[in-house]
Amino acid sequence: MTELLSRVIILTTGGTIQNDLSVEGYLSGEELVSRIPEIQEIAEITVEDISSVGSHQMTPDIWYALANRINMLSGSEYCPDGFVITSGSNTLEETAYFLNLVLKTEIPVVLTASQRNHGMVGNDGDMNLLASVRVAICEESVNKGVLVVVNDQIHSAREVTKVVTSRPDAWSSGDIGVLGLCDKYGYVQYYRETQRRHAPDVIFDLSDSSAETFPKIVVEYSISNADGSGIPHEIETGAQGIVYAGFPTGAPAEPNGGGQAEQLRLAAEVVPVVMSHRGADGWPYRRRTILEDGSFIWGDTLSPQKAAILLSLSLTKTLDPKEIQEIFLEY
């Protein structure tokens, strides 16, 4: 009797992994899968094209489309054993983290990308996609939150970030490290669990917002002698929250005792302000980023771009900075 293969649904969004130097535009999902016959040997594959954009064109519309589709399929008779999402590399981490905060399923959801197009020597997309399917059908991947599989590493959506322009070893989970490893022979091994809340144990619900009403967050970046003059303008033009990418300690620029520091204090009287930092690892010091009255929100180890996503979703639940701080400590 033939053993039934696990079912995997691949949702494509575009990016380098679907780009072929000899073809204008992006390969369809079906065309992509047809180039990797080994995939059909390990899983029954269904492909759906959600979008065909580069990572620089990623929007909340695509995030919501992905989340709604996964949530719908997970509760239907067509529920697969795992999902794989192809993405452009530059915003892969943001898509993964958004999904990690809104999906309502324990079924493995794996995102992957590539650094080199089809037709280039050293194309890494095929191996990344094959490894992602293997991780998606692995029983140990259940209820791990949203995963990112690239370069034989399994990352948590919360920690992973792209740190290199075009080499295959472009992604890192920094101080906290990868969840596990996989290899070309199909072996998948986990070494740790994430300690922060993740899908499906989340408070956020897509019905609380939409792509059109997704709260607008601005990231303010620290540089020497920054005066923060753009902050009031951002609030006047609709920013509903600010994430500050401070110096690596989290300290804001304070030329002549004012600058960004003073503007952030004033902004915190109007909108929530999250203190992050521009460094690669560690966290902003609490003593430098949270006022005694709790006006600022400590961003913990989240990168500025992920802090912006969590702040947007937090604003769909509450406007109270103290309640938002509690959310940041949980997620």
What are the beta bridge partners of residue 86? Answer: 12, 112
Are 288 and 250 spatial neighbours (Cβ–Cβ below 8 Å)? yes
CA distance linking residue 75 with residue 207, whole number of Å: 16
- Kindly name the residue from 12, 13, 16, 112 that is annotated as catalytic: 16
Say if residue 120 is exposed, middle or buried (CB neighbours under 10 Å; 0-12, 13-18, 19+): middle
Q: Compute and round to an integer the Cα radius of gyration of the chain.
A: 20
Instruction: Examine the residue annotation and report whether 165 is marked as an active-site residue of this protein.
Output: no
Angle at which helix 321-330 crosses helix 304-314, to 10 degrees, equals 120
Element (H, E) at 67: helix 60-74
Three-state secondary-structure class, residue 106: coil
Tokens read off for 73: 């399929």
- Tell me the CA distances in angstroms from 223 to 183, 191, 266, 302, one per residue in order: 41, 38, 19, 20
- Residues designated as active site: 16
